[in-house]
Amino acid sequence: MVRVYGVSPKSVHELVLALKLIASLGLCLIIAACAGSPSGNVATAPGTYKIGSPYKVNGIRYVPREDANYRATGIASWYGKKFHGRRTANGEIFDMNGLTAAHPTLPLPSKVRVTNLENGKQIELRVNDRGPFTRGRIIDVSKRAAKLLGFQGKGTAKVRVEYVGRAPLEVFVAGKPETTRDERYAAAAAPTTRVVKARISPPPGAQAAPPAESMTATSSIIDRRVGPQTKPVTWVPISEHVSIYVQAGLFADPSNASRLRASLEPLAPVNVRAEMIDSKQHYRVRLGPFEKVEEADTILEVLARRGHGDAHIVIE
């Protein structure tokens, strides 16, 4: 038993509580630092606006840019626990329970409208990260977004992604502080005798102040714990059946499209579709349709090995 001479038991108790509090705060800081990013740095500021320079991942070149008319179909996937608490590409902190997403080229942060073409569920998400970098995937959404869109268990979904616009920068709001039971009882208890409320008259020559008005504060910042949407999911009409295609190339010269079609026919059914792009006739070479995502992924990998790096999955 340790004895401390010259110090009252009450002071010793208060000292022990103070040391416990300091230790708890230190542990919290260590945990926060480790969760802030893979390098252990603590996020001390909100994210920044970012478009970025062209980059290459796994042999695929990406060119970030803002495209107000961006609208694409493809396969969505989701990410969660492995990246939870890490920094995103624009410096924010990834929360797998938030309504966020990763996209390889759109501005950060921005808003997109994602529609699950298999069930009609639609949601707006905040793009604050780069990815996915798996060939054949168009967007990576958070775990919560995948659940709301109805494909968390399945893993992937046929989706349409539409650019809505830039999103406001995020401001982090501190949570409500909590105290332990020992800390609550460290101070002397409040008096238990009845307190009588009385109105005191102002001194001679002075006037009583008017009653205080209740004040409410408003703010336009985003609270990460609540989120800006109370009913984030809507339902929209969709086609009864959607198919998966792999687009192998886009040509202005029909002879080039015909040659590619001939070389790809042993792999799967191939079609060439003519359409106007920027007032000029172009020809899309597509393989399919495929019923399963895995079938399209296999064809996509074959095309990549053959040098068709721009090949990608589309949904119709």
User: Is 181 within the bounds of a domain?
Assistant: no
User: Is the same domain home to 96 and 153?
Assistant: yes
The predicted structure's pLDDT at residue 178: 59
Residue carrying the six token digits 């869109």: 149
% pLDDT > 70, the chain: 66
Whose CA is closest to 142, among 61, 63, 232?
232
User: Is the same domain home to 146 and 75?
Assistant: yes
DSSP H or E run through 144? helix 143-149
Q: What is the pLDDT of residues 83-106, one digit of tens each?
A: 999 999 999 999 999 999 999 999
User: Is 307 within the bounds of a domain?
Assistant: yes
Residue carrying the six token digits 């401001």: 171
The last residue of one of the domains, among 169, 195, 217, is 169
Tokens of 27: 């542990």
Tokens of 310: 């721009």
Residue carrying the six token digits 């895995």: 294
The predicted structure's pLDDT at residue 296: 95
Please, which residues have CB within 8 angstroms of residue 88's CB and are 6 or more apart in sequence?
A: 47, 94, 100, 102, 108, 128, 129, 130
CATH number of the domain where residue 305 is located: 3.30.70.1070
User: Is 152 within the bounds of a domain?
Assistant: yes
CATH number of the domain where residue 143 is located: 2.40.40.10
At 162, give phi and psi (nearest 5°): -125, 135
User: Is the same domain home to 73 and 126?
Assistant: yes
Whose CA is closest to 50, among 113, 112, 124, 130?
130
The predicted structure's pLDDT at residue 239: 79
CA 265, 267, 271, 277 dihedral sign is negative
Long-range contacts of 215-221 (CB under 8 A, 24+ apart): 220/168, 221/171, 221/173
DSSP H or E run through 95? none
Number of domains in the chain: 3
Q: What is the pLDDT of residues 208-266, one digit of tens each?
A: 655 544 434 333 344 444 444 456 899 999 877 889 999 999 999 999 999 999 999 99
Q: Quick check: 127 and 232 in contact, CB under 8 A?
A: no
Q: Strand, coil or helix: what is 118?
A: coil
User: Is 207 within the bounds of a domain?
Assistant: no
Residues 304-315: what's their mean pLDDT? 93
User: Is the same domain home to 156 and 94?
Assistant: yes
Which domain, by its residues, includes 23? 9-41
Q: What's the predicted TM-score (pTM) here?
A: 0.67
CA 40, 46, 144, 291 dihedral sign is negative
Q: Phi/psi class of residue 120: alpha, beta or left (left: φ > 0; alpha: ψ in -120 to 50)? A: left
Q: Strand, coil or helix: what is 299?
A: helix
Tokens of 115: 């529609």
Q: What is the pLDDT of residues 110-149, one digit of tens each?
A: 999 999 999 999 999 999 999 999 999 999 999 999 999 9
Given a cut of 80, whether residue 45 has pLDDT beyond it is no
| Kind of pairing between the strands at 280-290 and 270-277 | antiparallel
The last residue of one of the domains, among 144, 169, 194, is 169
User: Is 56 within the bounds of a domain?
Assistant: no
User: Is the same domain home to 34 and 71?
Assistant: no
